[in-house]
Amino acid sequence: MSAPAPRLPSGYRLVRHQVIDSTNEEAKRLARAGAADRTVIWALAQTAGRGRRGRPWYSPPGNLYLSLLLRPRAAPERAAQLGFVAALAVGGALAALVPDLPELRYKWPNDVLLDGRKICGILLESESGEEDRLCFLIVGIGLNLLVAPPAAEFPATALAERGLPAIAPATALEALVAQFEHWRKRWEEAGFAPIRTAWRQRAVLGGAARVRLDRRTLYGRLIDIDDEGALILEEAGEYRRIAAGEVFPAQG
Ligand code: BTN
C-alpha cells in the first residue's frame, strides 16, 4: 500500500512520481497541456535534475524535489518575486520542523543557506505569450534533507549531514507548501514589501562578493535588494542594480 498523500492547502493539487527526469520539465509539459495554477509536481528522485545555468542538480532519493506550477496575474518581472516567496517558505518550513536549527540565511536571489552552506536551490522558469503576458511560472525547489552533492561550486550541505534529525520528503513537502501559501497570500495582498522585509532579516548582505552575470563577473559589496527584488552592489564606489545573476564568495 502506498503512503498517504501529503496534505496540501486548499486550491493546490499534487502530482506524485517515484522518479522523473526533472520536476521542472514535467511542470512545463503539464503547463503547456493546460494544468491549473497551483499544481505541485513532486518526485522522490530525478534522473535529469537541473540547477541554474543548466547545471545538473544532484537528485538521489532522500531529498525533496518539487516544482510549483503557478499562473500569477502579474508581469514576468514581478512574478519572479515568487522566488523570494519560495525561499521564505523553505526557511519557515525548516524552522517549523527542525528544533535548534543552525543559522539560516537567504542568499540573493533565491538560495537558502544553513551555517553558510547551501541547503536549498530554487529554479524559476517561465513562458510568456503576446505582449509579454505571463503564461506560467515554474518554481522548482531542491532541498537537501539527506545528502548534499559531493562537489558543488558553492559549498553545500544537507540536514542529515549537520547531524540534525532526518525529515521525510513528504513531511517537508507539506510544511513547505503550507508556508508557500502563507507567503504567497501576503505577496498577493500586500505586494513585495512584507516579503522583502522578512527576507532581509536573514539575508546575506553587507559583505564582499563575486557576482556572476550572463557575460561577466563583478566584484563588490552586497548592499541590499531594492523594492522590486534586484540586487544593489557597490562596485568601485558605484552602486549597480542587478536584476539577474549569481552570488559567490569574493575569493575562490
Ligand atoms: C540552483 O541551481 O540553485 C537551483 C536548483 C533547483 C533544483 C530543483 S530540484 C526540483 C526542480 N527540478 C529541477 O530539475 N530543478 C529544480
pLDDT digits (tens, 9 = 90+) for 189-247: 999 999 999 999 999 999 999 999 999 999 999 999 999 999 999 999 999 999 999 99
Residue type, 52: R
Spatial contact of 242 and 211, defined as CB atoms under 8 Å apart: yes
> How far, in Å, from the CA of 185 to the mean position of ligand 1?
23
pLDDT at 252 over 70: no
**To test ligand 1's pocket by mutation, which of 50, 118, 153 has the most ligand atoms within 8 angstroms of CB?**
50
45 within domain boundaries: yes
What's the rounded mean pLDDT across residues 62-69? 98
Coil, helix or strand for 238? Answer: strand
Residue 61, burial from CB neighbour count under 10 angstroms (0-12, 13-18, 19+): middle
Looking up residue 150, the CATH number of its domain turns out to be 3.30.930.10
The C-alpha cell 542538480 sits at 57
Identify the pLDDT of residue 1. Answer: 52
pLDDT digits (tens, 9 = 90+) for 3-43: 778 999 999 999 999 999 999 999 999 999 999 999 999 99
4 within domain boundaries: no
User: Is residue 38 domain-shared with residue 145, that is, in the same domain?
Assistant: yes
What's the rounded mean pLDDT across residues 130-135? 90
User: Is residue 212 domain-shared with residue 196, that is, in the same domain?
Assistant: no
User: Is residue 215 domain-shared with residue 146, that is, in the same domain?
Assistant: no
User: Is residue 51 domain-shared with residue 127, that is, in the same domain?
Assistant: yes
Measured CA to CA in angstroms, residue 90 lies from 30, 137, 175 at distances of 24, 18, 9
Closest CA relative to residue 41, chosen from 22, 27, 62: 27
Say if ligand 1 is within 6 A of residue 142 CB. yes
> How far, in Å, from the CA of 227 to the mean position of ligand 1?
26
Identify the pLDDT of residue 98. Answer: 94
Ligand 1 atom closest to Cα of 49?
14
User: Is residue 25 domain-shared with residue 142, that is, in the same domain?
Assistant: yes
Coil, helix or strand for 82? Answer: helix
**Residue range(s) defining the domain that contains residue 82:** 13-200
pLDDT digits (tens, 9 = 90+) for 177-192: 999 999 999 999 999 9
The C-alpha cell 491549473 sits at 36
- Looking at the structure of the chain, the number of domains it has is 2
Measured by CA distance, the residue closest to atom 7 of ligand 1 is 142
141 within domain boundaries: yes
User: Is residue 169 domain-shared with residue 221, that is, in the same domain?
Assistant: no
User: Is residue 43 domain-shared with residue 101, that is, in the same domain?
Assistant: yes
pLDDT digits (tens, 9 = 90+) for 70-117: 999 999 999 999 999 999 999 999 999 998 899 999 999 999 999 999
Say if ligand 1 is within 6 A of residue 169 CB. no
